[in-house]
Structure formats: structure tokens, C-alpha cells
Chain A
Amino acid sequence: MHGISRKTPSREEQDASALKVAELRDLQYQFLHLHHNKMLIYKRSFRNKCKAVRSESRALAVQYFLNHQSETEVDSEYIQSVLNEELKVVENALKKNFKSYSAWYHRKWVLSKGHSSTDKELRLLGKFQKLDSRNFHAWSYRRFITMLKKISDEDELQYTTDTIYDNFSNYSAWHNRSVLLSHLFEKRGKGHCHKRAFWKRNLSLYIMLLFTDPDDQSGWFYHLWLLDQTVKLEPFLLSSCASSWPLVYIYQLMITWMDASLLNSLHRLKITEEGKSKSSDWSMKTIANEIAHCRELLSSTNCKIGKLTLARLLMAQNKLISYGIPNDGIEVHYEEILGLYRDLMKLDPTHICYYEDAYSLVLLKQVTYEYGIYSEILPSIWRFNFTKYGFLFLSATQ
């Protein structure tokens, strides 16, 4: 049981517990009796006694008893006073157990009746999030309040920035950041120059975490997503096409290896020359910068995430080179990538099989590259249904 030590309670603790049990049981029975008979609880003295029960008990009837009351009672003044009390009761219940799904939901329910100010809720939320900045219930409640209060995504993004600067090790803040960024870019459309500057700032934020504590996972997945988005911003050689017939199959650059959803959408892509050189230059430069950061990190720390990220970035760079994008003489790096995975197997033996699988994929790509088999891209003049070929490749590697 969370937070309770495995020791036999003392005699005093047992006696105190027995008294508490008797009181709790008695109140709970009274509560349920009133609830089943849909009797309204007018007496303040009884409601006060019930507060103790409701702080301890997680029974739904106990949490939600007021819901029935408010749906039946016609005296709006009475309901308002009870709802105000209710907010206090829920606040106390959350202080005892801030991971209670039903308590958090009940607060939303009370708020939906319009009996508290959202400013007050934000202040309360601020206190809870200071006590536990990883509480996902609180973050969910925050999304609920910011929606009610119509707080902009930009302001909330700033909140996540402030939270991260407070403590880099906050996966919840990094996650919320990614959700907000996704919303913002959907709203703003395809302004690539604007996005590029923004991605650069966000990559820099992650670099600070990486150099502070490379073993902290908080930013790893955010960084992976950011790099993926960086390349997806630039669907080089592609434009979306309404046609449902596949013309050419392109393996879009991915830092992760296989993306089932990507393959499902490939039939909507076709090659064009539009924006080719601008997009590809930016992608190549971004990847090169990230590679430089990784090498700098690894020069001072022999860390797992540094090696893994470098391996992924080098794979991404190899892909760009294989597409014929100008690379200032940089050559493909399969040997170095294979070496990184061998290092990772020794550095992190717990996940040896993960690295083995990645290693075998890299080896396959090296072999096919050396034999000149471009399984990922064919010239645009070829009108060929690559979907089947691509899935063959996919099924062979899964």
C-alpha cells in the first residue's frame, strides 16, 4: 500500500483506529440511508459531521450525494450556500488525497454549476501544483479551467516554460508544452519560417535540460517529437495530393524507425519539386546542429541518451543524404551508428534487446545501401505502387 510501512501497529494505534472505524462506519451508514431515500440534508450540524466522512471516504455516493440534492432542491439560495460549502469539502478531501479521480471530477461538476470564480480555482490550482507539479489530475483540471476562462495557448505555453525553468525534471510540463505547440501550429497554418524559429527556441530549451542532467527522461520524448516535427514541417519533395492512387512511395524522414500511421497516409503523397532546396537545406542544417550538440555532450559525459540520440540523428542524416540532398561532403555513418548501439548494449544491458533490434535494422540498411538497393525511394518518373513494396519491407522488419 502506497506510503504505509509494513509494520505491525502498536496497541495505541490499534485502539485509535478502532474508534475511527466505528465513527466512520456509523456516519457512512447514515449517509447511505439518507442518500437511498433521497432525503435532503438540511441540518448544518449533520453536514459538518459528514465533512469528516467525505474527507476519508472515497465512496461515490458520499462524493456525489450533493448532486442528487441539487437536482431536487428548488431553493436556489440554499443550493448556492451548499455548493460553496461543497467546494471547501472537496478542497479538504483533495488535500488528504490529491490523486482521487472522483474528488477532482466532483469539483469540475460543482464548477459547472457556476458557483466559483475561475480566478479562485487557478489560485487553488497553483497551490496544488506547487505541492506536486506532476499530478496529472491537476494538469487536467488546469486544462478545464483555462478553457472555461478562455486563456490563450500562448499564455499557457509561457506557464509551461516557467514551470520548466523552475524544475527541468517535469515530464508533465514538457508533455503539456507539446500539446499546446500542436494546437498553436494547427491554428496558424503552414508558416514555415515562423515555425523554424519557434522549433529552434524549443530545441534550445531541451538542450539546457540535456546538459543539466542527461539521465533525466523528462525531455527525451519531447525532444524526439520535436525533431520529428522539425522534419515533418518540411515534407520535402512532397505536396499533399487529393488522389487516392499512390504514385511514388517516399519514406518520410523519421527519427523513430517505423510509423504505422505514416504508412497509412502514404497513398496521399506525390513528388513535386516545390520548395525542395529550401526545405532540405533547413532539415540538413537542423540535424547537423543537433548532431554537434550530441557530440559536445558525449565529449564530457558517456551517457545513454546522448549515444541513442546521436545514433538516431545520424540515421536521419543518412536518409537525407540518400535522398540526394546536398550534404557538404558529409558521408553516411552506418559504422559509427552500429558502434553506438554496441556501446549502448554495454552501457544499458537492461534494454539490450531494444538496442539489438535497432542494431539489426541499421545493419540491414547498411547492407542494402552498400548493394545499391534503394528500398526507400525511387525516382518520380516511376509510376509504381510502392505501398505493397513498402509494406513488404515493413512486415519483414517487424
Chain B
Amino acid sequence: MCTIFNMFTRMFLPDFHEFHQIAYGRPINDRMGELKIEKHVKYILSVEKRKDDFVSVVMEHLRLNGAYWGLTTLDILGKLDAVDQDEVVSWVMQCQHECGGFGGNIGHDPHMLYTLSAIQVLALFDKIEVLDIEKVSNYIAGLQNDDGSFSGDMWGEVDTRFSYIAICSLAILHQLDKINVETAVKYILSCQNLDGGFGCTPGAESHAGQNFCCVGALAITGSLHHVDKDLLGWWLCERQVKSGGLNGRPEKLPDVCYSWWVLSCLIMIDRVHWIDKEKLVKFILDCQDKENGGISDRPDDAVDVFHTYFGVAGLSLLEYPGLKAIDPAYALPVEVVDRIFVSK
């Protein structure tokens, strides 16, 4: 459905202007509140240094994901140079195993989940060349199954999250030809549901996170024509609840992380105008801890680096002023993606 026809309808219905005032009238940050950039930078740098509290110990095994969330947030905020690049790169490489896969921290088992984060962190610093690309690519390609799906690791869990990880990783490394893209796409499509969305395996319920993974993978492989954009667009836009926040499934509570999962999908299928962007910006800003920095899942909950990243990335997608643009499929700043694909 095209907005060219909005012009067509205005010719016939002058009272449309009244409705447009509601949707487009106010500037985006008029009475919105403010993004506390300096506080969030300080918060992320403090998390990087923190290793001995209960949460850090329990989450030790996914520190590499945390690094990706924190560093990408810093980059979007224009503060990536606040970290010691060499120290981070050296630590990342120590997480790699002989098989080529990366664990979530030094000494932890390799898995797709951390391998993508490793590649993305190196991409942020423009240090992909430190990788043995053949080794990493072979690890990822080796996890593709006959039906086109991907396992997360040697123990065989299958999930469309891993399809996205494989496709995104190999695309960044220019090694997509190492996998069978056709069967990979076919498997993703077998997870498509009646509501136009995608689940983690065939028959599984649609979830915003899985939708991001599947739509992202289809976007990267040039297969978005398989998506029913109007149907999925309606499902996605109905994730916006009265508070302006987005939930991940019908009849669930809103959560800042869906500002990424839902929003990036809407952008990829060109339906982002179907939500009220201003209300979503306000919801994200209300989830900030304005004293100590960081963003939480919903107002007054404890902050964490995961929700801080998704809140800031969501604001970037919403074109909040002062933030670097982020690519909705690769989940990396656009200038990083351009560096990978355009300057090569």
C-alpha cells in the first residue's frame, strides 16, 4: 500500500489534513524528554569494568554478546573511542576455539550466538582482518543441516535465530557461497505462520525476535518477496500498545527491546509509518535511568546493557537527532556496513 495514494485521497477528502496533524504535526523531540547520552556512556563503561557482582558472574558466559551491545551503543552515540580497542580485540580473539567458533567468554564453549557478536565487534573496530576468515566461515557453514536449518553448536539445537546468525556472519565475511542459501531460505519460509510472522522452528508461534531474525535473513539474501508485507506489517504495527511501547507478541507487556526487533522488521518491509513513532520515542526515553544511566525494559525496572543497546538502536531507527544511523538487517551502524560492502 503506497503513500502516493495518500495524495490522491487528499484531493477528495480535505478533512484528512486534520488526521495528518495528529500523525505528523509535532517535531519529534518537542516535549519528548531528552536522551541522556553522557549518562548512558558512563553506564556502559562502568559495566565493562564490572566483573564481580552477581549479575556479571551469572552472565559471564555471554560477555561477548554484552560487548557487542555495549560497543555498538557507544558507536551510535559517537563514543566508541572511549574504549581501548586493542584490549577488546585481544580479548575477543582469546574467546575463539580451534574449531573456529567463539565462546561467550574465555574458556566458554563455542556457539553461533557468540561467533556473530565476535564478528560484529571486530567490524565495529574495522579489524575483521585479524580473523582467519576461512576458519570462522567453515565453523559456521559446518553447522548447516540437510534441511537448510542451522544448529547453534555441536549439540544440535535448531532455531531460526541461528539461520540469521549464519547468514549475517557469512555475508559480513563475504562467504555466503559456503552455505546452501536456497535451502537456508526454504527452511526459514517453512517457519512462516498464518499471521505472516515467523517462529523458531516450523509450527512455532510468531515472535518479534524471530521475525527480526527471519526477515533480516531474507533481506540479506534478497528474498523479501516471500514475505506478505501487509499481513506481517499489520501484525507488527499491532505490537504498539496504548503506552506507545511495543510488545513481542499479542497480549504481552511492552518492552524496550522490541523497539529494535519490531521496528527493524517494519523498516525492512517498508511499513514503519504504520506505528506512532513519536509515542515510541517517548516510551523509550521514559525507560531511561536519568540519574545513573542505562535503559530498562520498562519504566522503573533495573537497567542493563541489553536494553540500553536496544533502546538506543531503536531511537536511531526512529531518527532521533544526534545518533548515528543503524542498519536494520545487520544491526551495525550504517557506516560500518558501508565499509564492509561498499569500500571492498
Q: Is chain A's binding surface mostly helix, strand, loop or mixed?
A: helix
Q: Is B274 an interface residue (CB 8 A)?
A: yes
Complex contact A217–B230 (CB within 8 A): no
Docked complex Cα distance between A359 and B230 (Å): 14
Q: Is B53 an interface residue (CB 8 A)?
A: yes
Least CB separation from B8: chain A residue = A360
Docked complex Cα distance between A61 and B153 (Å): 12
Complex contact B225–A260 (CB within 8 A): yes
Report B257-298 residues with CB < 8 Å from chain A CB: 270, 273-276, 279, 289, 296-297
Complex contact B52–A353 (CB within 8 A): no
Chain A residues closer than 8 Å to B233, beta-carbon distance: 354
Complex contact B1–A261 (CB within 8 A): no
Complex contact B157–A349 (CB within 8 A): no
Residue from B55, B157, B225, B240 within 8 A of A351 (CB atoms): B240
Chain A residues closer than 8 Å to B320, beta-carbon distance: none
Complex contact B228–A59 (CB within 8 A): no
Complex contact B302–A6 (CB within 8 A): yes
Residue from B195, B276, B302 within 8 A of A1 (CB atoms): B302
> How many whole Å from B91's CB to the nearest CB in chain A?
17
> How many whole Å from A38's CB to the nearest CB in chain B?
13
Least CB separation from B239: chain A residue = A217
- Once A175-B194, A179-B203, A261-B228 are accepted as A-B contacts, the answer to whether A60 and B302 lie under 8 Å apart by CB is no
Q: Is B22 an interface residue (CB 8 A)?
A: yes
- Once A4-B302, A260-B226, A360-B1 are accepted as A-B contacts, the answer to whether A21 and B53 lie under 8 Å apart by CB is yes
- Once A1-B296, A216-B251, A261-B226 are accepted as A-B contacts, the answer to whether A353 and B301 lie under 8 Å apart by CB is no
Complex contact B229–A260 (CB within 8 A): yes
Complex contact A357–B111 (CB within 8 A): no
> How many whole Å from B109's CB to the nearest CB in chain A?
5
> How many whole Å from B298's CB to the nearest CB in chain A?
9
Complex contact A257–B1 (CB within 8 A): yes
Q: Which of B56-64, B70-78, B330-338 forms part of the interface with chain A?
A: B56-64
> How many whole Å from A375's CB to the nearest CB in chain B?
14
Docked complex Cα distance between A241 and B297 (Å): 52
Chain A residues closer than 8 Å to B55, beta-carbon distance: 1
Complex contact A398–B251 (CB within 8 A): no
Docked complex Cα distance between A351 and B195 (Å): 18
Docked complex Cα distance between A134 and B247 (Å): 14
Q: Is B40 an interface residue (CB 8 A)?
A: no
Report A1-53 residues with CB < 8 Å from chain B CB: 1-6, 17, 20-21, 24-25, 28, 32, 36
- Interface contacts (Cβ under 8 Å), in number, total 207
Q: Is A139 an interface residue (CB 8 A)?
A: yes
Docked complex Cα distance between A32 and B3 (Å): 57
Q: Is B134 an interface residue (CB 8 A)?
A: no
Chain B residues closer than 8 Å to A21, beta-carbon distance: 52-54, 57
Least CB separation from B278: chain A residue = A350
> How many whole Å from A68's CB to the nearest CB in chain B?
10
Least CB separation from B305: chain A residue = A1
Complex contact A364–B5 (CB within 8 A): yes
Chain A residues closer than 8 Å to B244, beta-carbon distance: 350
Least CB separation from B52: chain A residue = A21
Docked complex Cα distance between A136 and B250 (Å): 13
Q: Is A265 an interface residue (CB 8 A)?
A: no
Report B299-330 residues with CB < 8 Å from chain A CB: 300-304, 307
Residue from A102, A171, A354, A398 within 8 A of B249 (CB atoms): A171
Residue from A36, A171, A172, A258 within 8 A of B230 (CB atoms): A258
> How many whole Å from A385's CB to the nearest CB in chain B?
19
Chain A residues closer than 8 Å to B108, beta-carbon distance: 32, 59-61
Complex contact B1–A1 (CB within 8 A): no
Tally of A interface residues using CB under 8 Å = 74
Chain B residues closer than 8 Å to A176, beta-carbon distance: 203, 205
Chain B residues closer than 8 Å to A349, beta-carbon distance: 19, 22-23, 276
Least CB separation from B157: chain A residue = A105
> How many whole Å from B162's CB to the nearest CB in chain A?
11
Complex contact B60–A136 (CB within 8 A): no
Q: Is A374 an interface residue (CB 8 A)?
A: no
Chain A residues closer than 8 Å to B238, beta-carbon distance: 217, 220, 351
Residue from A2, A105, A357 within 8 A of B1 (CB atoms): A357
Q: Mark A346-381, 1 if CB is under 8 A from B, else 0.
A: 100111111011111101100000000000000000
Complex contact B23–A101 (CB within 8 A): no
Complex contact B54–A17 (CB within 8 A): yes
Complex contact B304–A102 (CB within 8 A): no
- Once A260-B229, A349-B276, A351-B275 are accepted as A-B contacts, the answer to whether A357 and B155 lie under 8 Å apart by CB is no
Report B115-154 residues with CB < 8 Å from chain A CB: 153
Complex contact A24–B235 (CB within 8 A): no
Complex contact A398–B1 (CB within 8 A): yes
Least CB separation from A170: chain B residue = B251
Q: Is B206 an interface residue (CB 8 A)?
A: yes
Chain A residues closer than 8 Å to B156, beta-carbon distance: 109
Complex contact A60–B58 (CB within 8 A): no
Q: Is A251 an interface residue (CB 8 A)?
A: no
Docked complex Cα distance between A105 and B155 (Å): 9
Q: Is B188 an interface residue (CB 8 A)?
A: no
Complex contact B12–A363 (CB within 8 A): yes
Docked complex Cα distance between A134 and B57 (Å): 30
Residue from B5, B58, B62, B157 within 8 A of A56 (CB atoms): B58
> How many whole Å from B28's CB to the nearest CB in chain A?
15
Chain B residues closer than 8 Å to A363, beta-carbon distance: 5, 8-9, 12
With A171-B249, A350-B244 known, 20 other A-B pairs at CB within 8 A are A1-B296, A4-B301, A24-B54, A28-B60, A32-B107, A109-B156, A136-B207, A140-B203, A171-B205, A218-B251, A257-B230, A350-B279, A351-B275, A351-B276, A352-B22, A353-B273, A357-B3, A357-B5, A360-B8, A397-B1
A-B contact pairs, 30 of them (CB 8 A): A1-B296, A2-B301, A4-B302, A57-B58, A59-B60, A60-B104, A134-B249, A134-B251, A136-B200, A136-B204, A140-B204, A143-B204, A169-B251, A176-B203, A176-B205, A216-B251, A217-B238, A222-B194, A224-B231, A257-B1, A260-B227, A260-B229, A349-B276, A351-B240, A352-B23, A353-B273, A356-B19, A360-B5, A361-B5, A363-B8
The 7 closest A-B pairs by CB, nearest first: A360-B5, A59-B61, A357-B1, A225-B194, A217-B250, A221-B195, A105-B157
